């Protein structure tokens, strides 16, 4: 079991809003401040969906993404992971055009078409009914662009079937660099919720040399991350998926969740990895 733990901070995502937690970043300055604080608290990677600073809506605009990426790089050495989901309904071309442009250290690679809803988990009401399209052809195209640009795909899997989608595509010789990296996502309405046996099934279904991390929506976040600390995985927290620090108390920022999970990892003798250590643990190519 690796002693160091790679912590990713997912600052904004596509769905969470300032109306829910005023600390969700919209402007480049807000993203940069959050990223620096997350780095100081122990995060080695920052996962980014840019927002339109006026409306707060997710955007694929290269200037908006560039202002965030370049601003973060000027302030701290945290590794950059750019989302290729961006936001609901963003066309395929715009989901990948920023990857060759910015050549981040990692990028998310979503592994299957699925329901991706916003739902009331108590009543079963569906507030936002959305099909997140990730056909094999699209996943393959995105993986090729990542490979050409030496960007490590973080395979986002929301169900065991998604692992098998990736393992099927992996049969295309040379599509992926080995060892691979997976993010097990729990609690999306349309994917699986956190359960210890599901996490064990995920871990048992990926190649033996692959690295993995977890993230979870709402309360799934703490449960999944705690279990990953125990099982030797890596961690992801942030206002993208969870607005709270504890119970119904809003987090002061993604950095506060990073600090909490870093302390939880230290309790089990797992020290947060630096960005350099994370580069080696996740088998990322060196950057200039
Ligand atoms: N917010 C996560 C549940 C991506 O950016 O590609 C999904 C996610 C996907 O992070
Ligand atoms: Zn994301």
Judged against a pLDDT cut of 60, whether residue 104 lies above it is answered with yes
The model's pTM: 0.98
285/67: higher pLDDT: 67
pLDDT in tens, 198-251: 999 999 999 999 999 999 999 999 999 999 999 999 999 999 999 999 999 999
Q: What is the mean pLDDT of the chain?
A: 97
Which CA distances in Å does 169 have to 13, 155, 172, 184, 210?
26, 12, 6, 18, 15
pLDDT in tens, 12-35: 999 999 999 999 999 999 999 999
Selection from 211, 238, 206, 226 nearest residue 83 by Cα: 238
Closest ligand to C-alpha of residue 96 is 1
Judged against a pLDDT cut of 90, whether residue 45 lies above it is answered with yes
pLDDT for the residue numbered 44? 98
Q: Is the dihedral of CA 19, 21, 27, 29 positive or negative?
A: positive
Q: Is the dihedral of CA 94, 97, 103, 109 positive or negative?
A: positive
H or E segment and range at residue 262: helix 254-267
pLDDT in tens, 5-18: 999 999 999 999 99
Pocket of ligand 1 from Cβ distances under 6 Å: 13, 83-85, 108, 110, 156, 185, 188, 240-241
Average pLDDT in the 270-285 region?
Answer: 97
Token pair listed for 278: 């994370």
Compute the distance between CA of residue 117 and CA of residue 52 in angstroms, rounded to an integer.
22
pLDDT for the residue numbered 63? 98
Residues in the chain: 288
How many A from CA of 101 to the centre of ligand 1?
20
Compute the distance between CA of residue 88 and CA of residue 276 in angstroms, rounded to an integer.
33
CA angle 50, 236, 161 (to 5 degrees): 95
pLDDT for the residue numbered 286? 83
Confidence of residue 287 (pLDDT cuts 50, 70, 90): confident
Compute the distance between CA of residue 240 and CA of residue 216 in angstroms, rounded to an integer.
10
Which protein residue's CA is at the shortest distance from atom 5 of ligand 1?
83
Contact 50, 123 (CB under 8 A): no
Instruction: Give 10's contacts (C-beta < 8 A, 6+ positions apart).
Output: 46, 47, 215, 236, 237, 238, 239, 240, 241, 254
Q: What percent of the chain has pLDDT over 90?
A: 98
Best residue for ligand 1 mutational test, from 115, 241, 242 (most atoms within 8 Å of Cβ): 241
Judged against a pLDDT cut of 80, whether residue 1 lies above it is answered with no
CA angle 11, 201, 177 (to 5 degrees): 65
pLDDT in tens, 120-147: 989 999 999 999 999 999 999 999 999 9
Please give the CATH topology (third level) of the domain spanning 4-281.
Answer: TIM Barrel (3.20.20)
Compute the distance between CA of residue 12 and CA of residue 24 in angstroms, rounded to an integer.
6
Q: Is the dihedral of CA 145, 46, 68, 18 positive or negative?
A: positive
Alpha-carbon Rg for the chain, nearest whole angstrom, is 17
């Amino acid at each position: 079991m690796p002693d160091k733990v790679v912590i990713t901070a997912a600052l904004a995502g596509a769905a969470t809003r300032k109306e829910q937690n005023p600390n969700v970043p919209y402007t480049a300055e807000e993203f940069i401040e959050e990223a620096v604080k997350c780095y100081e608290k122990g995060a080695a990677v920052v996962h980014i969906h840019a927002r339109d600073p006026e409306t707060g809506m997710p955007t694929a605009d290269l200037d908006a993404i560039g202002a965030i990426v370049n601003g973060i790089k000027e302030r701290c050495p945290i590794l950059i992971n750019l989302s290729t989901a961006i936001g609901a309904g963003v066309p395929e071309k715009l989901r990948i055009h920023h990857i060759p442009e910015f050549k981040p250290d990692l990028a998310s690679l979503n592994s299957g078409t699925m329901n991706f809803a916003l739902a009331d988990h108590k009543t079963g009401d569906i507030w936002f009914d959305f099909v997140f399209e990730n056909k094999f052809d699209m996943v393959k195209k995105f993986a090729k662009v990542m490979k050409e640009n030496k960007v490590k795909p973080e395979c986002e899997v929301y169900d065991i079937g998604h692992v098998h989608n990736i393992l099927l595509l992996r049969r295309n010789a040379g599509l992926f660099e080995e060892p691979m990296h997976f993010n097990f996502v729990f609690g999306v309405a349309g994917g699986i919720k956190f359960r210890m046996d599901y996490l064990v099934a995920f871990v048992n279904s990926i190649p033996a040399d692959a690295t993995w991390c977890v993230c979870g929506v709402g309360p799934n976040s703490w449960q999944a991350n705690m279990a990953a600390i125990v099982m030797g995985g890596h961690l992801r927290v942030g206002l993208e998926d969870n607005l709270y620090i504890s119970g119904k108390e809003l987090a002061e920022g993604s950095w506060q969740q990073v600090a909490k999970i870093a302390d939880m990892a230290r309790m089990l003798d797992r020290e947060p990895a630096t960005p350099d250590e994370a580069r080696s643990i996740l088998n990322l190519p060196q950057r200039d």
